[in-house]
Chains A and B, each alone.
Chain A
Amino acid sequence: AQSVTQLDSQVPVFEEAPVELRCNYSSSVSVYLFWYVQYPNQGLQLLLKYLSGSTLVKGINGFEAEFNKSQTSFHLRKPSVHISDTAEYFCAVTNTGGFKTIFGAGTRLFVKA
């Protein structure tokens, strides 16, 4: 069975500063990896995903993530955050060939002016 650990429950950061949200996973088989974002009072929406190929994945709103197989990590980064990036971010994993997506506990990003 696979699992996902998001190492920070909350990340406060000032506007225009860089941010990294950390995610580690465990699985005995190959996986697909995802980052979803949840704005207040809304459902989750996809930011980016890694299926195969280049380990650096670019997503919407200037976010990117890097798949590191040896460290079983998929950290999310943005070089300069905006107030509008304040939201909860979820890392998720699915076994290749499977359909059951497991979500991490979420990291609440709070961008301050």
Chain B
Amino acid sequence: DAGVIQSPRHEVTEMGQEVTLRCKPISGHNSLFWYRQTMMRGLELLIYFNNNVPIDDSGMPEDRFSAKMPNASFSTLKIQPSEPRDSAVYFCASSLDISGNTIYFGEGSWLTVV
């Protein structure tokens, strides 16, 4: 069974450009999470969806960040405009809708904004 699939794996972009990160969760999972990992802040939860509905977006840093989940098999995280401080690894993860269930992570999208 395929795991969580993220694209692109690596992206280098110039400040001010729009960045779109994509995620395909594990089939059958109905919770989806976006995390950001940096050396300074560690692993931060940005937003999570349950049954395609955003449940908690309190971790989204500012209005430049937005996330969508138009269907059960696809989600995007968009940054517009991007800034150098957005450079990080962005992880998408999914799980079954059961408290205490294991979260399965993708391999991450490594974003560098120059």
**Chain A contacts to B: CB under 8 angstroms:** 32, 34, 36, 41-46, 49, 51, 90, 94-106
Contacts and interface: CB of A to CB of B under 8 A. Distances in A.
Nearest to A50: B100
Interface stretch (B13-21, B63-71, B79-87, B105-113): B105-113
Interface of B: 4, 31, 33, 35, 42-43, 45, 48, 50, 55-56, 91, 93, 95, 97, 99-100, 102-108
A80 B22 CA distance: 40
B45 A100 contact: yes
18 contacts: A32-B99, A36-B103, A41-B107, A42-B108, A43-B4, A43-B106, A43-B107, A43-B108, A49-B102, A96-B100, A99-B50, A100-B48, A100-B56, A101-B33, A103-B42, A104-B42, A105-B42, A106-B42
A97 B99 contact: yes
A94 B56 CA distance: 14
B100 A43 contact: no
A29 B42 CA distance: 24
A32 B108 CA distance: 25
A46 B43 contact: no
Nearest to B45: A100
B48 A99 contact: yes
A101 B4 CA distance: 18
B99 A94 contact: yes
Nearest to B98: A99
A101 B102 CA distance: 10
A96 B101 CA distance: 10
Contacts of A36: 103
Contact of B55 (A97, A99, A104): A99
B105 A44 contact: yes
B45 A49 contact: no
A96 B93 contact: no
A49 B100 contact: yes
B47 to A, nearest CB: 11
Given A43-B91, A98-B99, A106 B105 contact: no
A40 to B, nearest CB: 11
